Amino acid sequence: DAGVTQSPTHLIKTRGQHVTLRCSPISGHKSVSWYQQVLGQGPQFIFQYYEKEERGRGNFPDRFSARQFPNYSSELNVNALLLGDSALYLCASSRGGANEKLFFGSGTQLSVL
């Protein structure tokens, strides 16, 4: 089975632009979560979606939004990009139960110039 896939792998944008990142979970996984990882820090939680509903939101501004589709794939959208949004964005999937390990994608490296 394919693992968690993310697209694109790299992206360069300029300040003020909008970006959409995509994630396909492992087959059978209904939960998708998004993390932002800045060099030198651990991944920071952004969103979790389960069965197309938002289950949790981290401490990120409203410029960040996400959604989950009926096939459980997900999009992360960021509006009005700032230089500080430059980071690796990781998507993770799981079955959604407690004490389950996360399966991560390889991430999308976003550079904002």
Q: How many residues bind other proteins (CB under 8 A)?
A: 31
Which of 1, 2, 28, 41: binder of other proteins (CB under 8 A)? Answer: 41
What count of other Cβ atoms lies within 10 Å of the Cβ of residue 106? 13
Sign, CA dihedral 28-34-39-41, equals negative
Q: Amino acid identity, residue 35?
A: Y
Does residue number 97 form part of the binding site for other proteins (CB under 8 A)? yes
| Three-state SS at 7 | strand
Does residue number 73 form part of the binding site for other proteins (CB under 8 A)? no
Residues that bind other proteins (CB under 8 A): 3-4, 31, 33, 35, 40-45, 48, 50, 55-56, 58, 90, 92, 94, 96-107
